[in-house]
Amino acid sequence: MSLFPLTVRSVVREAEDVLGLLLADPTGAALAPWEPGAHLEVTLPSGAVRHYSLCGDPADRSAYRLGVLREPAGRGGSEEIHTRVREGTVLGVRGPVNRFPLVPAERYLFLAGGIGITPLLPMVRALPPGTWSLVYGGRSLASMAYREELAGLPGVTLVPQDTAGRPDLDGVLGGLAPDTVVYCCGPEGLLRAVAERWRGPLRTERFGAAVPAGTESPASPACGEGPAGPEGFEVELRRSGLTLWVEPGRTLLDVVRGAVPGVAYSCEEGWCGTCETKVLAGVPEHHDTVLGADERASGTTMMICVGRAHGPRLVLDV
């Protein structure tokens, strides 16, 4: 996927701490098509690379719309967008890529937490009324981006925490037909709570430190405690003939790429799948959101940007 320039056509305030950006081709050419669930990889003026879900209308090929939550305690990308990116700023972009596609189904439930609304917004717009419902929780109404756009759609329930508390997941999920496909995008806690309660088809995308819904954050296991864990371990890179020590506080990817040039990676947050690496021996400890339960249990593959060793040693096919 090659990097290409897009110009920021407009910057608007979508909600408290949420900016909406429209990115367009500098020559005015039509942009590549995309489908709901897709995201862009964006290289900021500082060189930082971040991923943001597309939240506009796929039929509009003149611009890509992103919604970016400001996270002062994040890794700096959202702060840079909120403070340095202006109309006319040129950003390097890759994509769109879709790892969260809308699968065909008779009925859907969408659950959004905060800025997790961004990939879900084009999904609900693409579906016929009566086939879906959306429960959208946020800190307060003022913090909930795109609430006005959603207010005109049937099947939408807004749940501002300051006045209505958290969404009643037991009530919402308890009444669903078993073949309902549930899409959930939000912070780790929401995803976990939904996974504990729903045994039917479930598609998730995490944000809140770690994911593309329009945010970053330090609190997610994918980029916080997960990847740079408190225990060190040894890693043998079998094809390279190297044995290295992954000290506490460093990621496995960091150590591997320091020794072996050209290691593929992108999000560094455990959700894009680029750094997937074959495990030849040892037990991986997974912190990604890419692998399914069977793949995790097999122990033969892992995302080295966030994964660690469950034990003293790993052997990788690197």
The residues of the shown chain that bind ligand FES, judged by CB under 6 A, are 265-268, 270-275, 288, 290, 303, 305
Residue 177 CB, nearest approach to ligand FES (Å): 33
Comparison of 91 and 303: residue with beta carbon closer to ligand FES: 303
Q: How many C-beta atoms lie closer than 10 Å to residue 88's C-beta? A: 11
Comparison of 193 and 290: residue with beta carbon closer to ligand FES: 290
Comparison of 156 and 272: residue with beta carbon closer to ligand FES: 272
Residue 42 CB, nearest approach to ligand FES (Å): 15
Residue 81 CB, nearest approach to ligand FES (Å): 20
Comparison of 15 and 42: residue with beta carbon closer to ligand FES: 42
Residue 132 CB, nearest approach to ligand FES (Å): 29
Residue 306 CB, nearest approach to ligand FES (Å): 6
Comparison of 64 and 265: residue with beta carbon closer to ligand FES: 265
Residue 307 CB, nearest approach to ligand FES (Å): 8
Comparison of 144 and 306: residue with beta carbon closer to ligand FES: 306
